[in-house]
Amino acid sequence: MKQTFLRVAVPIRVYGTFDYRCDGSRIIPVGSRVVVPFGARTIVGIVVQHVDTPAVALENLVSVTSAVDTEPIFPADLLKTLRWVSEHYHQPYGEILWSALPANLRGKRPQQPKFGHVTAFHVTETGKKADLSSLSRAPVQNAIMDLLKAKEQPVPKEIIQSEIGRSWRSALKSLEAKNWIASRTVAKPPILASPRSIHTLTADQQNARDQIFNHLSHYRSFLIHGVTGSGKTEVYLRVIDEILKAGGQALMLVPEIGLTPQLKQHLESALGAPVSSYHSGLTNSQRHRTWWDAKTGEAKVVIGTRSGVFLPFRRLAVIVMDEEHDSSFKQHLGVSYHARSVAVHRAAVNKIPLLCGTATPSLETVFAVRNNRVQNLSLPQRVTAAKMPTVRLIDLNHATTIEGVAVSLVRKIKERISRNEQSLMFINRRGYAPVVLCIDCKWTVKCENCDANLIFHAADQQLHCHHCLQRISMIRSCPQCTSERIQLLSVGTQRIEQALRNNIPGARILRIDRDTARSYEEFERKLNEIHDGRADILIGTQMLSKGHHFPNVTLVGVLNVDQGFFSMDFRALEYMVQQVLQVAGRAGRAEKPGEVYIQTLYPEREVFACVRQHDYMAFAEMELENRMEAEQPPFFHYSLLRANSPKEGKEIEFLAQAHACAVRLMKSHRFKEIQVFDIVQSPIRTISNRHRAQLLCGSSLPSKLRQFLNEWMMQLEQIPKKGDLRWRLDVDPISFIWCTSAHETQNSTIGAQSAW
Domain 5-105 homologous superfamily, CATH: PriA, 3(prime) DNA-binding domain (3.40.1440.60)
pLDDT at site 755:
41
* Whole-structure pTM value: 0.86
- CATH superfamily assigned to domain 390-432+491-613: P-loop containing nucleotide triphosphate hydrolases (3.40.50.300)
Q: What is the CATH number of domain 203-379?
A: 3.40.50.300
Q: Give the tens place of pLDDT for each residue, 304-318.
A: 999 999 999 999 999
Q: Across residues 241-257, what is the average pLDDT?
A: 93
Any idea which architecture 637-731 has in CATH? 2-Layer Sandwich (3.30)
Instruction: State what percent of residues in the chain have pLDDT above 70.
Output: 94
Dihedral of the alpha carbons of 89, 95, 101, 103, in degrees to the nearest 10: -130
Q: ω before 683 within 30° of 0 (cis)?
A: no
pLDDT of residue 747 exceeding 60 = no
The predicted structure's pLDDT at residue 748: 27
528 or 658: which leads in pLDDT: 658
pLDDT at residue 603 above 90?
Answer: yes
* Residue partners of 161: CB distance under 8 A and separation at least 6: 168
Torsion of CA 452, 458, 460, 463, to 10 degrees: 20
Closest CA to 628 of 706, 732, 700: 700
pLDDT, position 116: 59
Are 521 and 170 in contact, with CB atoms under 8 Å apart?
Answer: yes
Rounded average pLDDT over 414-429: 93
741 or 299, which is more confident? 299
What pLDDT score does 540 carry? 87
* Pairing of β 18-21 and β 422-426: unpaired
Give the contacts of 609 (CB within 8 A, at least 6 positions apart).
Answer: none
Each residue of 55-99: pLDDT tens digit?
888 888 999 999 999 999 999 999 999 999 999 999 999 999 999
Lowest mean pLDDT among 24-33, 88-97, 459-468, 740-749: 740-749
Task: Give the pLDDT confidence of 670-729 residue by residue, as tens digits.
Answer: 888 999 999 999 888 999 999 999 999 999 999 999 999 999 999 998 888 777 899 999
| Amino acid (1-letter code) at residue 422 | Q
Residue 466's pLDDT is 86
Q: Is the pLDDT of residue 361 over 50?
A: yes
pLDDT recorded at residue 269: 82
Phi, psi of 52 (to 5 degrees): -85, -30
Instruction: Among 316-320, 356-360, 439-443, name the one with the lowest average pLDDT.
Output: 439-443
pLDDT in tens, 520-538: 677 777 888 888 889 999 9
Band of residue 752 on the pLDDT scale cut at 50, 70, 90: very low
Of 85-99, 255-269, 430-444, 456-470, the one with minimum mean pLDDT is 255-269
Please, what is the average pLDDT of the chain? 88
Question: What is the share, in percent, of the chain residues with pLDDT greater than 90?
Answer: 58
What is the pLDDT averaged over residues 277-295? 91
The two domains 5-105 and 637-731 share their CATH topology (first three levels equal):
no
Q: What is the pLDDT of residues 184-218, one digit of tens each?
A: 877 665 555 555 666 789 999 999 999 999 999 99
pLDDT of residue 256: 83
pLDDT at 535: 92
Tell me what pLDDT residue 337 has. 93
Q: How confident is the model at residue 389 (pLDDT cuts 50, 70, 90)?
A: very high
Q: What is the mean pLDDT of residues 392-410?
A: 93
Residues 139-182 pLDDT 10s? 888 889 888 888 777 888 877 876 776 678 888 999 999 999 99
pLDDT reported for residue 753: 33
- Boundaries of every domain in the chain: 5-105, 117-187, 203-379, 390-432+491-613, 637-731
Rg (CA), the chain: 27
pLDDT, residue 746, reads 31
